[in-house]
Amino acid sequence: MSSPPAIPRRALVLLVVLTLVWGTNWPLFPHAVREVSVWTFRSIAMTVSGLLLMALAHLRGEPLVLPRRHWRTVLLGTFFYLVLWNLTSTYAAVLIPSGQAAVLGFTMPLWSALIGWAVLGERLSARMVLALLLGGAGVTLLMVDSFQAYARAPLGLAVGLLSAVGWAIGTLILQRGRVQVPVLVLTAWQLLIGAVPMTAGALLFGDGQLFMPSWQTVAIIAWITLVPMCIGNFCWFAIVGLLPGPIAGLSSVMVPVVAMISGAIVNGEPLTALHGTAMAACASALLLALGRKKS
């Protein structure tokens, strides 16, 4: 019997960065869209972050051309992940507490495994099945105290789950498509492609007039653009390229844990012993999925 593939140390470093960057990002969403629409916020963040990453790739001497054979894969993956995910996850964080929206969004590993098994015929080892069950249990426990919020805002529940499904589909498309371009360039192209419908939406459904938001809103949008969008998306696409599909999906399971803690600190959202149990289950799932020899 062949041993499972080793987990690259680089992937573990990227995972830690991703968890901190994305987990602390969720409580900021409601503040980012207090003065501007979700469409405007996302169009600015995606355009600027895409241009910054493209400029960085150019300075590093990386080829900026996306081969034509990859365009269909990148367009589909970008729609499901960067367009659908960014819209629905932000709306969810506005409609329900940000920590609870994060929990819904990060049911992605479960949807990814289910779609991979049912549609793509992917097989899961007993270890991965147990890890997914633990992760699912952790996410379910995190949702227990949120059921009343979901009942009060069913649209928040719906768009939160839709964000997770979109992210799962987009990730599977990119992994199956095997896009052979540098991660920095791929991330930049996807952000810029995703910014096109976001900008169109901002013009059609956005604020309707030019104005200068407060410095607090500008600072929050700038932070989200530079850190979660640039650094976070780069880390995520690098992880997707380094790890098998189910493990890559489960690598994000600790993000809602950090988001819940951040939401409690920033927005005063509740944090209970039940949440602590859920966090332990999520951590166990991640350790089980990554618990193998590192390369």
At 1 the pLDDT is 42
At 118 the pLDDT is 77
The full set of domain ranges for the chain reads 9-290
Intervals of the chain under pLDDT 50: 1-2, 293-295
The two structure tokens encoding residue 44: 């600015």
Q: What's the whole-model pTM score?
A: 0.81
For the chain, the DSSP string reads: -PPPPPBPHHHHHHHHHHHHHHHTTGGGHHHHTSSS-HHHHHHHHHHHHHHHHHHHHHHTT------GGGHHHHHHHHIIIIIIIHHHHHHHHHHS-HHHHHHHHTTHHHHHHHHHHHTT-----HHHHHHHHHHHHHHHHHHHTTHHHHHH-HHHHHHHHHHHHHHHHHHHHHHHHT--S-HHHHHHHHHHHHHHHHHHHHHHHS-SS-----HHHHHHHHHHIIIIIIIIHHHHHHHHHHS-HHHHHHTTTTHHHHHHHHHHHHH-----HHHHHHHHHHHHHHHHHH-S-B-
